Amino acid sequence: MAVTQVEIRSGAYYDSVLLMHLQRSLAALPNILDAGVVMGTDANKEILAQSGLLRPEAQATAADDLLIVVRAADEAAAQSALAQVDELLTRRRVSLEQEYRPQSLETAVQTLPEAHWVLVSVPGRYAAGVARQALRLDRHVFLYSDNVSLDDEMALKRTAAEKGLLIMGPDCGTAIVNGVGLGFANRVRRGPIGVVAAAGTGLQAVTSRIHRLGSGVTHALGTGSRDLSQAVGAVAARQGLDLLSRDPDTQVIVLVSKPPAPAVADGLLRAARSAAKPVVVDFIGYRPSARQVDNLHFASTLDEAAELAVSLTKDEGRRTEDEGRRTKSSPFAPGQRYLRGLFSGGTLAYEALHILQDYLPGVYSNVPLDKQYRLANSLLSQEHTIVDLGEDEFTVGRLHPMLDNDLRIRRLQQEADDPEVAVILLDVVLGYGAHPDPAGELAPAIAEARARAEQAGRHLEVVAVVVGTDEDPQGLEAQIRQLEAAGARVETSNEAAVRAVGRLLRSGETKDEGQRPKSVDLSVLHRPFAAINVGLESFTESLRAQGAPVVQVDWRPPAGGDERLAALLERMRG
């Protein structure tokens, strides 16, 4: 008879990548049926409950507690697995820790003084403190961490602007600086187009499309998802626009974001009109008064933004490799009518919601366009649903879905078993920092889901959009082949994929401006890239794979995780 056992480690901090590997190692042990290794946040406990892995003794755990749960064929197998946890953790750490790792940011700067960037991906409640420390040391910051308060973001960006430093983030997943990809970045060729984006996967989609159209990118600067809000005032976006306007290698600039606050949009567009070069603007869902105003060229989709940028650099007509493609109706069973979208990229999900307005009466989401379509429970879909699994509610104490497919695979199985579901739409984002072989994990799950639907007398259509290039380490064509072999329809354009889904469902319908920041020295874009990484070790591995010098800090929560004592130490520093 199957048994579930849990081990709780209070105040234990481990890298999210390490936890992912531990979970997979436990799940692979003999007679282990399932495993969960997460920090004890409320959201993670709810996910464990959905998987049948939450025991009563785990209910009272705190966010800083480590939860290790195994479901085994018998009690002996469960105890054996838990007894191996320390050995598995040690084995993984030994394989990673082969070089000297400073324990403080100050020591790291002394170790690699040419590192003008600090990458921060520690848990959100500590991230602002690390970023402040980096700014004190006059370093630019790539702040990947989410769950950073709005007040902290505003204060950090004010400090950075006063010092002439860049701070990309918080919640900045992607950037390319002088040919080096940060976070989740695709390998794209160098070229004449610069990008400023408040959208991580939006930035990836545009730069990948530019690459596939035969052009390339000078730099792609992320800002963080809230930068263009009224409160923050587009501080990082203005800095990025100013840098690329002054950069002699950048001929065309692309601005990508979800719709900014109206006053912020007006101010940013005024700044863009002062650039002495064309600027392509894609504020997703934004309706401009004209398609072109002076040097501003407005796009309505991510694909069009890339195509416009390329045409402006090459002076040739826009081309799209997906033009003219049509979707055939699928033989759905009676009652099959709903879409379920499982996205790792927030901007791709947001664009999908906008495009689907042309096809569907309403789509529920955890990031809805209209609050009446907000999901009551993000773990449970209703009618047509698009879920952004990269939202904060899913990533506290858990690895981002671009690195760990476990949650998405479980959700895929859940959606596929719903007899009313006709189509599942998902994204597969490639590039440095992302999962080394996402299709290798998703394809078997897709094949199994379609087979189970067929056995139940239903046809399940799976559509996947792959964001990447032929030079990405995962191999674009290899990823596409795996997904197609599993029976998925694959697109390399988010717009094409979403419109295909919209046509498929419709055809099968059944009736039943703020203060200008101080200029950042242009050398930040042109000096050889070197960085200090505080957080996810996979980012260090990614930078090394690209030939960039990097030092990994052996970071631990300050004051042993005691937030009141940590705040006191921070005030003493400041």
Q: Is the peptide bond before 170 cis (omega within 30 degrees of 0)?
A: yes
Mean pLDDT, residues 257-282 = 90
Crossing angle of the two packed helices 150-163 and 124-136, in degrees rounded to 10: 10
Q: pLDDT band at residue 320, thresholds of 50, 70 and 90?
A: very low
Mean pLDDT, residues 286-304 = 89
Are residue 187 and residue 212 in the same domain, yes or no? yes
Tokens 């690459």 sit at which residue?
211
In a domain, 83, yes or no: yes
Give the range of the structural domain holding residue 141, as residue numbers without chain letter: 101-171+522-574
Q: pLDDT band at residue 388, thresholds of 50, 70 and 90?
A: very high
pLDDT, residue 533, reads 95
In a domain, 333, yes or no: no
pLDDT, residue 570, reads 62
In a domain, 330, yes or no: no
CA-to-CA separations, 455 to 311, 335, 415, 451, in angstroms, rounded: 49, 16, 16, 6
Whole-number average pLDDT of the chain: 88
pLDDT digits (tens, 9 = 90+) for 458-488: 999 999 999 999 999 999 999 999 999 999 9
Mean pLDDT, residues 423-450 = 95
Structure tokens at 372: 């009446």
Structure tokens at 551: 């030092």
As a whole number of angstroms, the distance between CA 285 and CA 292 comes to: 16
Amino acid at residue number 474: Q
Q: Is the pLDDT of residue 451 over 90?
A: yes
Are residue 270 and residue 307 in the same domain, yes or no? yes
pLDDT, residue 514, reads 42
- HSE of 281, CA atoms in CB hemisphere, 13 A: 29
Closest CA to 242 of 516, 523, 526: 516
CATH number at residue 558: 3.40.50.720
Tokens 């996402």 sit at which residue?
438
| Domain closes at, from 488, 517, 546 | 517
Are residue 192 and residue 176 in the same domain, yes or no? yes
In a domain, 332, yes or no: no
- Report the DSSP pairing between strands 32-39 and 3-9: unpaired
pLDDT, residue 166, reads 96
pLDDT, residue 301, reads 94
H helices within 288-372, ranges in order? Answer: 302-314, 346-356
CATH number at residue 371: 3.40.50.261
Are residue 28 and residue 78 in the same domain, yes or no? yes
Q: Is the pLDDT of residue 317 over 60?
A: no
Q: Is the pLDDT of residue 440 over 80?
A: yes
As a whole number of angstroms, the distance between CA 530 and CA 118 comes to: 9
DSSP secondary-structure letter at 332? Answer: P
Q: Is 50 exposed, middle or buried (0-12, 13-18, 19+ CB in 10 A)?
A: middle
Q: Would you call 165 helix, strand, or coil by DSSP?
A: coil
pLDDT, residue 89, reads 77
- Report the DSSP pairing between strands 190-197 and 217-222: parallel
As a whole number of angstroms, the distance between CA 363 and CA 368 comes to: 8
Are residue 89 and residue 120 in the same domain, yes or no? no
Are residue 112 and residue 92 in the same domain, yes or no? no
Tokens 């906008």 sit at which residue?
354
Are residue 181 and residue 306 in the same domain, yes or no? yes
| Domain closes at, from 468, 490, 517 | 517
Structural domain total, the chain: 4
| Domain closes at, from 31, 61, 96 | 96
Are residue 73 and residue 189 in the same domain, yes or no? no
Q: pLDDT band at residue 508, thresholds of 50, 70 and 90?
A: low
In a domain, 462, yes or no: yes
pLDDT, residue 565, reads 60
Structure tokens at 43: 């959201």
Q: pLDDT band at residue 361, thresholds of 50, 70 and 90?
A: confident
Q: pLDDT band at residue 560, thresholds of 50, 70 and 90?
A: low
Q: Is the pLDDT of residue 510 over 70?
A: no
In a domain, 68, yes or no: yes
In a domain, 393, yes or no: yes
In a domain, 414, yes or no: yes
Are residue 51 and residue 197 in the same domain, yes or no? no
Are residue 148 and residue 268 in the same domain, yes or no? no
pLDDT, residue 562, reads 59
H helices within 229-274, ranges in order? Answer: 235-246, 262-273
Are residue 392 and residue 497 in the same domain, yes or no? yes
Structure tokens at 321: 């490799």
More confident: 460 or 325:
460
Q: Is the pLDDT of residue 39 over 60?
A: yes
Are residue 220 and residue 238 in the same domain, yes or no? yes
CATH number at residue 50: 3.30.70
